[in-house]
Protein backbone atom coordinates (compact mmCIF):
# COMPACT_ATOMS: atom_id res chain seq x y z
CA UNK A 1 0.00 0.00 0.00
CA UNK A 2 2.69 2.44 -1.02
CA UNK A 3 0.00 4.65 -2.52
CA UNK A 4 -1.44 5.26 0.96
CA UNK A 5 1.97 6.19 2.40
CA UNK A 6 2.85 8.98 -0.05
CA UNK A 7 1.93 12.64 -0.11
CA UNK A 8 -0.51 13.63 -2.83
CA UNK A 9 -0.43 17.41 -2.67
CA UNK A 10 -4.15 17.54 -1.87
CA UNK A 11 -5.50 17.66 1.68
CA UNK A 12 -8.50 15.41 0.95
CA UNK A 13 -6.36 12.81 -0.85
CA UNK A 14 -3.80 12.86 1.98
CA UNK A 15 -6.55 12.33 4.61
CA UNK A 16 -8.00 9.42 2.62
CA UNK A 17 -4.54 7.87 2.22
CA UNK A 18 -3.92 8.20 5.97
CA UNK A 19 -7.25 6.49 6.73
CA UNK A 20 -6.33 3.60 4.43
CA UNK A 21 -3.07 2.91 6.28
CA UNK A 22 -4.69 1.44 9.39
CA UNK A 23 -6.72 -1.34 7.71
CA UNK A 24 -4.42 -1.69 4.66
CA UNK A 25 -3.38 -5.26 5.52
CA UNK A 26 -6.99 -6.42 5.63
CA UNK A 27 -8.26 -4.42 2.64
CA UNK A 28 -6.95 -6.96 0.15
CA UNK A 29 -7.40 -10.15 2.18
CA UNK A 30 -9.65 -11.50 -0.57
CA UNK A 31 -6.64 -11.67 -2.91
CA UNK A 32 -4.89 -14.22 -0.68
CA UNK A 33 -8.01 -16.08 0.48
CA UNK A 34 -10.50 -17.00 -2.26
CA UNK A 35 -13.17 -17.86 0.36
CA UNK A 36 -13.27 -14.21 1.50
CA UNK A 37 -15.65 -12.12 -0.65
CA UNK A 38 -14.30 -8.93 -2.23
CA UNK A 39 -17.48 -7.01 -1.33
CA UNK A 40 -19.71 -6.75 1.73
CA UNK A 41 -23.10 -7.40 0.10
CA UNK A 42 -23.85 -10.16 2.62
CA UNK A 43 -23.51 -7.74 5.54
CA UNK A 44 -25.44 -5.05 3.67
CA UNK A 45 -28.35 -7.45 3.06
CA UNK A 46 -28.35 -8.42 6.75
CA UNK A 47 -28.85 -4.84 7.96
CA UNK A 48 -31.27 -3.82 5.19
CA UNK A 49 -34.47 -4.73 7.10
CA UNK A 50 -33.43 -2.54 10.04
CA UNK A 51 -32.67 0.35 7.70
CA UNK A 52 -36.08 0.01 6.02
CA UNK A 53 -37.85 -0.05 9.39
CA UNK A 54 -35.94 3.04 10.53
CA UNK A 55 -36.85 4.82 7.28
CA UNK A 56 -40.53 3.82 7.40
CA UNK A 57 -40.92 4.89 11.03
CA UNK A 58 -39.09 8.15 10.30
CA UNK A 59 -36.20 7.22 12.58
CA UNK A 60 -36.27 6.85 16.34
CA UNK A 61 -37.65 9.49 18.64
CA UNK A 62 -34.86 9.17 21.21
CA UNK A 63 -31.46 7.63 21.82
CA UNK A 64 -33.11 5.12 24.18
CA UNK A 65 -35.56 4.14 21.43
CA UNK A 66 -32.71 3.67 18.97
CA UNK A 67 -30.80 1.54 21.46
CA UNK A 68 -33.88 -0.57 22.26
CA UNK A 69 -34.61 -1.11 18.57
CA UNK A 70 -31.02 -2.15 17.84
CA UNK A 71 -31.00 -4.64 20.74
CA UNK A 72 -34.35 -6.17 19.77
CA UNK A 73 -33.30 -6.35 16.12
CA UNK A 74 -30.06 -8.09 17.10
CA UNK A 75 -31.96 -10.64 19.19
CA UNK A 76 -34.46 -11.21 16.39
CA UNK A 77 -31.75 -11.76 13.75
CA UNK A 78 -29.75 -14.05 16.05
CA UNK A 79 -32.80 -16.23 16.66
CA UNK A 80 -33.64 -16.34 12.94
CA UNK A 81 -30.05 -17.30 12.06
CA UNK A 82 -30.29 -20.12 14.60
CA UNK A 83 -33.48 -21.30 12.87
CA UNK A 84 -35.63 -20.42 15.88
CA UNK A 85 -39.01 -18.69 15.88
CA UNK A 86 -38.21 -15.27 17.39
CA UNK A 87 -41.74 -14.62 18.70
CA UNK A 88 -42.15 -18.07 20.28
CA UNK A 89 -38.63 -17.97 21.76
CA UNK A 90 -39.17 -14.47 23.19
CA UNK A 91 -42.52 -15.50 24.69
CA UNK A 92 -41.00 -18.63 26.24
CA UNK A 93 -38.07 -16.62 27.58
CA UNK A 94 -40.37 -14.03 29.16
CA UNK A 95 -42.52 -16.77 30.75
CA UNK A 96 -39.40 -18.39 32.23
CA UNK A 97 -38.11 -15.03 33.48
CA UNK A 98 -41.44 -14.10 35.09
CA UNK A 99 -41.67 -17.51 36.74
CA UNK A 100 -38.08 -17.98 37.90
CA UNK A 101 -36.59 -14.48 37.87
CA UNK A 102 -33.77 -15.72 35.61
CA UNK A 103 -33.28 -15.73 31.87
CA UNK A 104 -32.86 -19.18 30.33
CA UNK A 105 -29.81 -19.86 28.17
CA UNK A 106 -30.17 -19.02 24.50
CA UNK A 107 -30.99 -22.18 22.52
CA UNK A 108 -28.24 -23.17 20.08
CA UNK A 109 -30.34 -24.13 17.09
CA UNK A 110 -33.72 -25.58 16.19
CA UNK A 111 -34.51 -28.36 13.77
CA UNK A 112 -36.12 -26.79 10.71
CA UNK A 113 -39.78 -27.65 10.37
CA UNK A 114 -40.49 -29.57 7.22
Tens digits of residue pLDDT in 2-59: 666 667 778 888 888 777 777 777 778 888 888 988 888 888 888 888 778 777 776 6
**Percentage helix, strand, coil for the chain under 3-state DSSP, each rounded to 5:** 65, 0, 35
Residue 99 has pLDDT above 80, yes or no: yes
| 107: in domain | no
* Shared domain check, 96 and 46: yes
Which of 4, 7, 3, 2 is CA-nearest to residue 21?
4
Residues 53 and 83 in one domain: yes
Same domain, 8 and 46: no
Q: Domain limits at 6?
A: 2-32
User: What is the pLDDT, as a whole number, of residue 107?
Assistant: 75
Overall domain count for the chain:
2
| 113, part of any domain | no
**Do the domain assignments include residue 63?**
yes
Q: d(Cα 75, Cα 103) in Å, to the nearest integer?
A: 14
Q: Find out whether 36 and 16 touch, Cβ atoms under 8 Å.
A: no
Both 8 and 54 in one domain: the answer is no
In the three-class reduction of DSSP (H, G, I as helix; E, B as strand; rest coil), residue 78 is classed as helix
Please indicate, yes or no, whether residues 23 and 50 belong to a single structural domain of this protein.
no
Amino acid sequence: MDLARGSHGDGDADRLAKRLLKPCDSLVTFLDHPDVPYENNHAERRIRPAVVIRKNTQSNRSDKGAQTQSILRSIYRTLKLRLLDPVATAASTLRTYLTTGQLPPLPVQSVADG
